[in-house]
Amino acid sequence: MVQPKVTIRFEVNGEPVEAAFASHKTLLEVLREDLGLTGTKHGCELGECGTCTVLLDGVPVLSCLVLAAACGGRRVRTVEGLARGPELHPLQRAFADLGAAQCGYCTPGFLLAAEALLAANPRPSREDIEQALAGNLCRCTGYHKIYQAVELAAAWMRGETAEPDTEVLYGRG
């Protein structure tokens, strides 16, 4: 069962990449299996959980539903492309500081969905965040620390010197 391969050139995390793969492969599979970018996870491979979210030309997509062969000439951004060199992206920093990643499996998808939100809306309301992340399931956190991390990162990205809310970190009582 040697399957014919297609070759595409595209940009992944700012670098030009050429990849050859069986034509039926999804972007998720090519990222993980052909390019070794295992930071992008899979939870269902049916477009139901949001775990495999990446940015395609800046737009969040479910990489399990995108045919990789259709990505020629396009820009893909994955969790591996969020940090600038050794410096974490503000969203990554906020997720780490607030404990917004528990098991961490859904985290890459949330980070990219949030990155797209903040690119379009630097000052999102809580409801905007809930709407933007409604397609990403998380079974660990109950979502609140994720909202708070997005809000904190948004403030940092606007150049504000925000601190984590102590009630978020310490609860009450």
Partner 1 sequence: MGADSAPRAHRVIGRALRKVDAVAKVTGATKFADDLSLPRMLYAKLLRSPHPHARLVRLDPSGALALPGVQAILTGRDLPTPFGILPVSQDEHALALDRVRFVGDPVAAVAAVSEDVAIAALDRIAVEYEPLPAITSAEEAVQRAAPRIHDYGDGGNLHKLIHLEFGDVEEGFREADLVVEDLLFYEGSTHLPMEQHAALADWSPDGRLTLWSSTQTPHYVHRALAKVLGLAPSRIRVIACPNGGGFGGKSDPFSHEIVVAKLAMVTGRPVKITLTREEVFYCHRGRHPTLMWVKTGVKRDGSITAMHFKSLLDGGGYGSYGVASTYYTGALQTVTYQVPRYKFQGARAFTNKPPCGPKRGHGTPQPRFALEVHLDKIAERLGMDPAELRLRHLVLPHTLTANYLRVGSMGLGRCIQQVVEGSGWREKFRRLPYGRGVGLACSSYLSGAGLPIYWNNMPHSGVQLKLDRGGGVTVFCGSTDIGQGSDSILAYITAEVLGVDPLDVRVVTADTDLTPVDLGSYSSRVTLMSGNAVLQAAERARDLLRGPAAQRLGVPPQQLVFADGRVFDAADPGRGLSFAEAVELAEAAGGTVGTVGSYTPPAAAGRYRGAGVGPSPAYSYTAAVAEVEVDPETGVVTVPRIWIAHDVGQCINRAAVVGQIEGSVYMGLGEALMEEMAYRANRNVVHRAPSMLEYKSPTTLEMCDVITYLIEDPDPNGPFGAKEVGQGPLLPVPPAIANAVYDAVGVRVDEVPITPEKVLKAIKAKAKGESGRVGPTRFPEIPWPEPIRVPPPWAGGDGQAISGEARRPAEFKTRKSDLSAVGGGGS
Among residues 38, 59, 119, 120, the one that binds partner 1 under rule CB under 8 A: 38
The region, left, alpha or beta by phi > 0 then psi within -120 to 50, assigned to residue 104 is left
Among residues 40, 63, 68, 154, the one that binds partner 1 under rule CB under 8 A: 40
Interface region with partner 1, contact rule CB under 8 A, candidates 55-63, 68-76, 144-152, 154-162: 144-152
Among residues 3, 7, 121, 125, the one that binds partner 1 under rule CB under 8 A: 3
26 in contact with partner 1 (CB under 8 A) = no
**How far is Cα 10 from Cα 75, in angstroms, rounded to an integer?**
6
**How far is Cα 38 from Cα 123, in angstroms, rounded to an integer?**
31
Instruction: Look up residue 144 and give its amino acid.
Output: H
Among residues 77, 97, 151, 154, the one that binds partner 1 under rule CB under 8 A: 97
CA distances from 91 to 14, 32, 68, 137, 151 (A): 19, 23, 27, 18, 9
DSSP code for 80? G
DSSP code for 33? I
Among residues 10, 133, 151, 154, the one that binds partner 1 under rule CB under 8 A: 133
96 in contact with partner 1 (CB under 8 A) = yes
In the block, which residue shows the tokens 């980070």? Answer: 111
57 in contact with partner 1 (CB under 8 A) = no
- Positions that interact with partner 1 (CB under 8 A): 1, 3, 32, 37-46, 48-49, 51, 78-80, 82-83, 88, 91-93, 95-99, 101-108, 111, 129-131, 133-145, 147, 163-164, 166, 168-173
